[in-house]
Amino acid sequence: MSDVTKLTWEEASRELDDIVAFLESSEVDVDRLVEQLQRAAALVEELDRRLVATRTQVDELLPRLERAADRVDPDTGELFGA
């Protein structure tokens, strides 16, 4: 199995969807059950870590964008005092 940190968001989400489908199937392969649950836990933890990191970045960037927006004339789109 590949390192979950090397997967894109899309790849990790798709793999998690596949595991959920496996778990919901009426013919769950008991030999693979624990392996799939461990992989799902790793994927969920990685996706959650990325969400938290993204939220932190957004929270840091929003004030900068708001300050920049305050410097733009809404009618002309030009910078005030430029």
27-47 residue pLDDT tens: 888 889 999 999 999 999 999
Whether 57 is in a domain gets the answer: yes
Whether 42 is in a domain gets the answer: yes
Q: What φ, ψ does residue 2 adopt, rounded to 5°? A: -80, 160
Whether 77 is in a domain gets the answer: no
Whether 76 is in a domain gets the answer: no
- Say what the pTM is: 0.76
| Range(s) of the domain holding residue 35 | 7-70
Write down the pLDDT at residue 82. 61
Write down the pLDDT at residue 61. 96
Q: State the Cα–Cα distance between residues 53 and 22, nearest whole angstrom.
A: 29
Q: What is the number of domains present in the chain?
A: 1
Kindly report the average pLDDT of the chain as a whole number: 92
Q: Mean pLDDT of residues grouped by 10 in the chain (82 residues)?
A: 93 96 88 93 98 97 91 86 66
Residues paired with residue 79 on neighbouring β-strands, in sequence order: 72
Q: Check: CB of residue 71 under 8 Å from CB of residue 79.
A: yes
